[in-house]
Structure 1
Amino acid sequence: VVNLHPIAIIVAVLLFGGIWGFWGVFFAIPLATLVKAVFNAWPDGSSVEEISEG
């Protein structure tokens, strides 16, 4: 289970399939999951402000 919205899966298949053809379709869901994980792990900058204030 990758916890991706069904629309996100369709968009990923269309996007990566359009870029890399068959292999893009084949790897669309793992790549979309990777993109989501990186996006969720990316710092938003609020912790830097809290550190500089304290």
Structure 2
Amino acid sequence: MAYVINDDCISCGACAAGCPVEAISEGANHYEINPDLCIECGACAGVCPVGAPNPQ
């Protein structure tokens, strides 16, 4: 299952910069992960300062 970003996101963009497949983009309220592109590597979770990305 793809990772998802919860409401703890502070929209810093660290996850998008750390994503090797560019599956993360800025959404209306916080960053979002495209589940069709996510390869479940966890890189986003590793760089997020607030732990917002999590496996679905």
TM-score above 0.5? no
TM range (shorter): under 0.3
Alignment TM-score, normalising by the size of structure 2? 0.23
Which has a greater percent of helix?
1
Q: Which structure has more RCO (C-alpha within 8 Å, separation ≥ 6)?
A: 2
Which has a greater percent of strand?
2
Larger radius of gyration: 1
Alignment TM-score, normalising by the size of structure 1? 0.24
